Amino acid sequence: MRRLVKFLAAAVVVVAVVGAGFVGWRLYDRDPEVSAADVPATPELIARGAYLVRAADCAACHNIPGGKPFTGGFAFTLPFGTIYSTNITADKETGIGTWSDDDFVRALHQGIAKDGSHLYPAFPYASYTGLSREDAVAMKAYLFSLPPVHAPARPNRLAFPFNQRWTLAFWNLAFLDEHRFRPDPALNTAENRGAYLATALGHCGECHTPRNLGFAMEIGRQFGGAVAQGWHAYNITTDKDYGIGDWSDQQIADYLSFGHAAGRGSASGPMGEAVGYSLQYLTADDTRSLVSYLRHVEPQTGVPGTEVDPAPGVMTVSSSWAPGETDAGNELGRRLFEGVCASCHAWNGGGRETNYAALAGSQAVNDPEGVNLVRVLLSGGDLKTSHGTAYMPSFARAYNDAELAAVSNYVIGHFGGKAGRVTPELVRERRAQQ
Ligand code: HEC
Ligand code: HEC
Ligand code: HEC
């Protein structure tokens, strides 16, 4: 018993010392926040801000369908309740119209509002902390150039203790790596620009990096793939089997700019939105820089059995209009695909009418769990880019759980060459989360 007490006491001391050292290191490593008078807004600053607000995709969370731009109200469903994004127009009462440059910069860098209260990390300040002050100030100049809109925030619904904002000070101490972007001397100028775009502005890791128990992005598993908002944001590291190491520069650039890469599938769900709202507007130079940086991300491995098969047998022997040989079993799935999907998706993985419907080589049809596949069937797709609109209807109402499971498994078998594991129960669960 005494031994145990001694051991526990020693363990507590070790944890305290290591913990304090860790927090101390964080404090030591922090970049000091500089304070300065507000910068006058010039047309150039506003134009630069408009570009940056798009690159940082503020609209993804601060706009809702049918609402006025940047008035908030977007709901985030978390395991412990629901929080809503807020009005970031220059309205003095309900928006951020009274905020100084310093207030705004502090919110982006530290997640602290003008009144000193802590913001929830659903606002991705863990990424925006890397933004330069100049870029943040330009964004504010743009937001303040838009008409102010009176739109009070919706009250959050959070259980105790998660409704206690002060507790987030501890989250920040433990998890917020609070410093401005630091160029990596091993990378060239374009690659470093790409790193800034990926980690700070474009906050790719907020969806693509796995999270730890504290809901913070895991250091050391950057871009290794994670489930975010119910969608699988795939591994986008340089791993050739599980990431995008095998994609050509052109394929990555096309996917980011147009939401589709030949032989790699299309962007749906949250990635479709990231492309539609944000990434398609990057300059060609910035897209190139982003791609060049992605070429340097440490490879991370994945789950065996989820590697993309670009040309499974049953698919390659099919023509656009007919399956080459009957896939074994799953008569219901085949019949549904023939009646409902084949007119757009074709049998040979090529897609008909639009190459956006090409299923060959897409991760979605190579994941035996069908995470994104079922999501796409439930929500449909509506991707708008300079290439036009890629539209797919939602099948949530038209088909029941067993039918959607059957067609999913058929698609995984035919286009991914894998045994699908989608069950009607799984479809029901995902419906409930829609
Ligand atoms: C992934 C979603 C997401 C993105 C992207 C996002 N925000 Fe937010 N933002 C939120 C949420 C959620 C809140 C509310 C947090 C809270 O109540 O604690 C918020 C709050 C804020 C606040 C605090 C407002 C207040 O009144 O306290 C500011 C300022 C803000 N965001 C600015 C921005 C800017 C500028 C961008 C783009 C650079 C941006 N946000 C991008 C989700 C997001
Ligand atoms: C809001 C969440 C979110 C953000 C932010 C985001 N992604 Fe994605 N990304 C996803 C999801 C979800 C998918 C899967 C889409 C699908 O199945 O159609 C995806 C897919 C991809 C793919 C295709 C991978 C494959 O194997 O098919 C690439 C490449 C990609 N993202 C790159 C990026 C880059 C680069 C950034 C930052 C500039 C970024 N993403 C930001 C959610 C996100
Ligand atoms: C009206 C034409 C149309 C019909 C019908 C249709 N789709 Fe689609 N589908 C599309 C288009 C266009 C896209 C790309 C949209 C996007 O990325 O947002 C797409 C995307 C997909 C994706 C995601 C591809 C990827 O690379 O991430 C899957 C999986 C899919 N469809 C399966 C199906 C199945 C199964 C059916 C039948 C139940 C079906 N679709 C019916 C047009 C259609």
Residue nearest atom 33 in ligand 2 by C-alpha distance: 204
* Residue 11 alpha carbon to ligand 1 centre in Å: 39
Q: Which of 13-17, 34-38, 129-133 has the highest mean pLDDT?
A: 129-133
Q: How far apart are CA 87 and CA 110, in angstroms?
A: 19
Question: Given a cut of 60, is residue 396 above it in pLDDT?
Answer: yes
Residue nearest atom 28 in ligand 2 by C-alpha distance: 236
Cβ atoms 373, 415 nearer than 8 A: no
Binding pocket residue ranges, ligand 2, CB within 6 Å: 198, 202-204, 206-208, 228, 231, 233-234, 236, 244, 252, 255-256, 264-265, 267-271, 274, 279, 290, 363-364, 372
Phi then psi dihedrals of residue 227, to 5 deg: -95, 120
* Residue 331 alpha carbon to ligand 3 centre in Å: 20
With a 6 Å cutoff on the Cβ, whether 141 touches ligand 1 is: no
Least confident of 19-28, 53-62, 116-125, 150-159: 19-28
Question: Given a cut of 80, is residue 17 above it in pLDDT?
Answer: no
Q: What is the mean pLDDT of the chain?
A: 93
With a 6 Å cutoff on the Cβ, whether 204 touches ligand 1 is: no
The pLDDT value given to residue 359: 97
Alpha helices for 30-167 (secondary structure H): 43-55, 58-62, 101-110, 125-128, 133-145
* Residue 254 alpha carbon to ligand 3 centre in Å: 18
Ligand showing the shortest atom-to-Cα distance for residue 294: 2
With a 6 Å cutoff on the Cβ, whether 265 touches ligand 3 is: yes
* Residue 360 alpha carbon to ligand 3 centre in Å: 12
Cis peptide leading into residue 161 (ω within 30°): yes
* Residue 87 alpha carbon to ligand 1 centre in Å: 8
Residue nearest atom 40 in ligand 3 by C-alpha distance: 341
Q: Please state the rounded mean pLDDT for residues 20-25.
A: 63
| Residue % of the chain over a pLDDT of 90 | 81
339-394 pLDDT tens trace: 999 999 999 999 888 899 999 999 999 999 999 999 999 999 999 999 999 999 99
Distances (CA, A) of 86 to 53, 123, 227, 272, 288: 16, 10, 24, 23, 33
CA atoms 88, 92, 97, 103: torsion sign? negative
Q: How far apart are CA 216 and CA 404, in angstroms?
A: 34
287-336 pLDDT tens trace: 999 999 999 999 999 999 999 999 999 999 998 988 887 777 899 999 99
Residues 6 or more apart in contact with residue 168 via CB below 8 angstroms: 111, 118, 119, 120, 121
Question: Given a cut of 90, is residue 20 above it in pLDDT?
Answer: no
With a 6 Å cutoff on the Cβ, whether 356 touches ligand 3 is: yes
Cβ atoms 362, 267 nearer than 8 A: no
